[in-house]
Chain A
Amino acid sequence: MPKIDLKTAGPFIALVAIFIIGILVNDAFLSTGNISNILARSSFIGIVAIGATFVITAGGIDLSVGSMAAFISGCMILLMNALMESIDSIVVIIFLAVLASVGIGALAGLINGLLTTKAKIEAFIVTLGTMGIYRSLVTYMADGGTLSLSFTIGDVYSEVYYGAFLGLPYPVWVFFAVAIIGYVLLNMTVFGRHCFAVGSNESVARYSAIHVDRVKTATYMLQGVCVSIATIIYVPRLGSASGQTGILWELEAIAAVIIGGTMLKGGYGRIWGTVVGALILTLIGNILNLTDAVSNYLNGAVQGIIVIVAVYLQRGAWRRDS
């Protein structure tokens, strides 16, 4: 007897429901421009959240992602502006900045990972610390103002955000690619199974000869790389970074992960759920901007309610047999 697994379908049902609300609220919702805006916009949080799915599945948490994104953006902008002097080809400059971005992301993740595993400090505290560090570093780098990418580079680089392939903006393709790689990694590899094992019970995983520390550190590095990928498509959008960049991304990413059905306490993770979670969060903001029905002052309340309802749906707590 085919039975729909509500646990898996929950986030999708919520997504469809919100989508229908969007159509009812405003005709402009379904316009190609709006849909591609939503998809491109959700790619930042979505990519970061895919990394967070690994960290959370393995029983960790990373609060530093938002300020890490701001810090990496700042580094990329400063690097590109500096390279202008010595390198003529703008494409080469952008390529070097992208490499540097991935390097910094992986390194920042490694630091978070080693501090949690080797120094035995709780992930919450470690990443709360690094969150403050990166945020003030970028403010310091910008002198309290905003770092701006030189216009000559910005003109070329902006294609990465504004350009499109087969009608879909590049950021959406990147988001999609990261999601597929993340899915394969989490569900079809030994590493993915180890993430589940470490997250459900660290001691048992250790007795089963899993290198727990190595697995956990790898998830933080993966998170760092995801942040850098998000940054690579974020910088060309406005060509600037400041102390305000990426504020609250960490909470949005965690919310996307949990809406998607990953367990906050670890042991179970779902990449497609996370993708849907990120879409839901972006959709809510978009729909609120498309209507006067809700007072501006209540936007936060609506977002809060929808997040709670979405999680309630996917937990299936209302089913009697659970």
Chain B
Amino acid sequence: MKLLKRIIVVAGLTLFSLAASAQTIGVSIPAATHGWAGGLNFHAEQTKARLESAHPELKIVLVTANSASEQANDLEDLVAIHNMDALVILPFESAPLTGPVRNVKRRDVFVTVVDRGLSEEGIEDVYVAGNNAEMGRVSGEYIKEALNGSGDIVVLRGMPTVIDEQRFDGFMAAIEGSNINVLDHQYANWNRDDGFTVMQDFLSRFPKIDAVWAQDDDIAIGVIQAVRQARRQDDLFIVGGGGMKDIIRRVMEGDRLTPVDVLYPPSMISTAMELTALKFISDTPIEGEYILGSPLITEENAEQYYFPESPF
């Protein structure tokens, strides 16, 4: 009995000292259910490994969720079991996770929100995000310029969400006032198969299409196949979005069909994790908002955005 007691005491002390010295950062992101999220997971794991080896005093707990409610449960576990000091979260959806994140904040946890803002202001300490409206605008500007201000285009959208809407509105604002005519726009659900079928139908329906805004690189891959099948690859070009390695490689090789891509980097999770880590390893002030740009990727600069090892 005495021995057992002693073991418990020693174990307890060790745990206590570990907890006292190490700072725990919880990272909660959506599971890798589609290409972009796959890239997100890849970069999160890479950054976790890099930060932990460079700073042994940091402990990073990475959890992935398949739904908003699962992510809310994850947050409770991160607080109760891992006793985290900071949270980096890419919310599955904004509204349902605002409450759970606020609860975490009340426990004096440093909160970094990534990509999708919460529905209530002032909860997070750091906000890191891409710029969806800007992404749409850059795509629109390019198409307007490449077509010299007039032509017929089709648009393949993602899913009916805020992200898709901001991109679409940004795009439409950019081409407003020009003679660019959007023949039709349909949802292709951010996947290749739907990109293929929707584009096939656009091709049967419209004998003249000058450009395609696919908004997303997975959709763009499906569009490319449909265009090739219809042998119309010489009549039009496709603008995707995101920064998938397959598309970046095409841009790098100077493919006529996909002359450019517009970046919306899944690696923004790395930006957020590195920033949050700075809070614990230095006195650098980091609180605030960080909005990443959506640069146009062209043949000239494509190489710096090409990550062959990433799954995205």
- Hey, which bits of chain A sit against chain B, CB under 8 A? 26, 28-29, 31, 33-34, 37, 41, 139, 142-146, 148, 162, 237-238, 240, 242-245, 247, 285-286, 289-290, 292, 296-297, 299
Are B38 and A238 in touch, CB under 8 angstroms? Answer: no
Interface residue count on the B side (C-beta < 8 Å) = 38
Q: Is the CB of B204 within 8 A of A296?
A: no
Q: List the B residue with the shortest CB-CB distance to A234.
A: B193
Q: Take A238-B222, A296-B187 as given contacts and tell me if A145 and B310 are in contact as well, using a CB distance cutoff of 8 Å.
A: yes
List of B residues within 8 angstroms of A41 by Cβ: 197, 200
Q: When the two chains form their complex, are residues B204 and A238 in contact, meaning their CB atoms are under 8 A apart?
A: no
Q: Report if A237-B201 is in contact (Cβ < 8 Å); known contacts: A145-B312, A296-B185.
A: no
**A237-B225, A299-B187 provided; 4 other pairs, C-beta below 8 A?**
A28-B204, A162-B229, A244-B191, A289-B198
Classify the interface of chain B: helix, strand, loop or mixed.
Answer: helix
B173-206 interface code vs A (CB 8 A; 1 in, 0 out) = 0000000000011110001110011101111110
A289–B189 Cα distance when bound, in Å, is: 14
**Given A28-B204, A290-B205, A144 and B192 contact (CB-CB distance below 8 Å):** no
Alpha-carbon gap, A29 to B310, bound state (A):
41
Is there an interface contact between A144 and B229, defined as CB atoms closer than 8 Å? no
Assembly CA distance A29 to B205 (angstroms) = 8
- Going nearest first, the 4 A-B pairs with the smallest beta carbon separation are A144-B32, A145-B311, A144-B38, A289-B201
User: A26: nearest residue on chain B (CB-CB)?
Assistant: B205
**Complex CA distance for A142 and B191, rounded to whole angstroms:** 15
CB-defined contacts of A297 to chain B, threshold 8 Å = 160
Contacts of B160 in A (CB 8 A): 296-297
**Is there contact, CB below 8 Å, between A28 and B205?**
yes
Chain A residues near B229: list those with CB within 8 A. Answer: 162
Given contacts A289-B202, A289-B205, whether A146 and B35 have CB atoms under 8 Å apart is yes
CB interface residues, B 192-239, toward A, < 8 Å: 192-193, 196-198, 200-205, 218, 221-222, 225, 229-230
Q: When chains A and B are docked, how far (Å) is the Cα of A241 from the Cα of B49? A: 28
Q: A143-B311, A289-B198, A290-B205 given as contacts; is B42 within 8 A of A245 (CB)?
A: no
Question: How distant is the Cα of A29 from the Cα of B197 in the complex, in angstroms?
Answer: 14
Contact A237 B196 (CB under 8 A): yes
B positions within 8 Å CB-CB of A: 31-35, 37-39, 41-42, 157, 160, 184-187, 191-193, 196-198, 200-205, 218, 221-222, 225, 229-230, 246, 310-312
Q: Which residues of A contact B198 (CB under 8 A)?
A: 289
Task: Quote the shortest CB–CB distance from A89 to chain B (angstroms).
Answer: 25
The residue from A37, A143, A146, A238 contacting B201, defined by CB atoms under 8 A apart: A37
Pick from A34, A139, A247: contact of B204, CB under 8 Å: A34
Tell me which residues across on chain A come within 8 A of B187, comparing CB atoms: 296, 299
Distance in Å: Cβ of A34 to nearest Cβ of chain B:
4
Whether the Cβ atoms of B200 and A37 lie closer than 8 Å is yes
CA distance A204 to B301 in the complex (A): 72
Q: Which of A26, A33, A142, A289 contacts B186 (CB 8 A)?
A: A289
- Give the distance in Å from the alpha carbon of A26 to the alpha carbon of B201 in the complex: 11
Contact B246 A243 (CB under 8 A): no
* A145 in contact with B42 (CB, 8 Å): yes
Q: Do the beta carbons of A146 and B38 come within 8 Å of each other?
A: yes
Contact A242 B35 (CB under 8 A): yes
**Whole-angstrom distance between the Cβ of B159 and the nearest chain A Cβ:** 11
CA distance A41 to B184 in the complex (A): 21
A238 to B34, CA, bound (A): 16
Which chain B residue shows the least CB distance to A247?
Answer: B191
Q: Which residues in A have their C-beta under 8 angstroms from that of B310?
A: 145
Do the beta carbons of A238 and B196 come within 8 Å of each other?
Answer: yes
Q: Which residues of B contact A296 (CB under 8 A)?
A: 157, 160, 185-187
User: Is A245 in contact with B193, judged by CB distance below 8 angstroms?
Assistant: yes
| Nearest-neighbor residue (CB-CB) of B201 within chain A | A289
Q: How far is the CA of A240 from the CA of B195 in the complex (A)?
A: 13
B86 to A: closest C-beta gap in Å? 24
CA distance A245 to B222 in the complex (A): 12
User: Which of B41, B201, B229, B246 has the most A CB atoms < 10 Å from its CB?
Assistant: B201
Question: B186 — which chain A residues lie within 8 A by C-beta?
Answer: 289, 296
Interface-centre pick from A37, A139, A144, A238 (highest chain B CB count, 10 A): A144
- Decide: B311 and A144 in contact? CB cutoff 8 A: yes
